[in-house]
Amino acid sequence: MSKEAVASVYTIMLNDDGYRELVAENPAVLDEWDLTDDERQLLLEEASTEVSGFSIGSGPIMGYLSRGPLLSQPVASSLGIALNRAAGLPTGALTGPGFAASAGCCPWNKSFVADKSEWVQ
């Protein structure tokens, strides 16, 4: 269960910079979670690391979460959403003016053409 707790705390940190800062400045806020000392240390390390863009999710927490049993699916999904949101990536279907109602969702006429020059090395 404590791995779930680590994922949940990290998800909150990703969704709320204020909580991340709070953890970094006042580690006692982690007392309400069921964490081992090592997990607590990893979270403190993560909280004090400045990350952005591709670096999000490359810190010690994701390395820890990738070991051992899988997270429960709702917790895994919430963590993924938080990581994408923090990285500025979509968390659902593309919407808004100029985007089809189910833009790019599947092979049925909704894709936006790629810029192949971007991918040719």
Partner 1 sequence: MTEVAVPARDARPGGRWSTPSLVEDVLHLAAVERAVAHVTAGWVPKVPELDAKLRLADGLEGAMARAVALREHARTLLERDDEALRADPAWVEPLRALDRSADPVAVVDGVVDDAGAFLAARYRDLAGQLDPLYDARLLATVHTAVDALARRAGQPGPVAASLGAGRSSGPAEAAPLDALVWAPVDRVPVPARPAGRRRPLPGAMGHLRIGSRRELHNVAGELNENVTAELCALELLCRCAYEHPELAWSTQLGMARHAADESRHAAMFRRLLAERGIDEAGLPQHATNYELAYEFPDCEPGSGKELVWRLLLLCTVLEALAIDKIPPEIATLDWLDQPDIARALDYIAADELFHVDHGLRLTRELCAEHGLDPVLERELVHGRFFGRQRDLRSRYLEADPERAAQEIAALAGPDPDGVPFQSRTERELRRRVSFTEAEIDQVDRWGYNPRSAG
Q: Decide if 49 contacts 61 (C-beta within 8 A).
A: no
How buried is 117 (Cβ within 10 angstroms: 0-12 exposed, 13-18 middle, 19+ buried)? exposed
Amino acid at 11: T
Least distance in angstroms from the C-beta of 88 to partner 1: 7
Least distance in angstroms from the C-beta of 85 to partner 1: 8
Give the residue with the Cβ less far from partner 1, 28 or 108.
Answer: 108
| Greatest alpha-carbon span in the chain | 52
Give the residue with the Cβ less far from partner 1, 41 or 77.
Answer: 77
Least distance in angstroms from the C-beta of 47 to partner 1: 20
Residue numbers at the binding site for partner 1 (CB under 8 A)? 54, 57, 65-67, 70-74, 76-77, 79-81, 83-84, 87-95, 97-116, 118-121
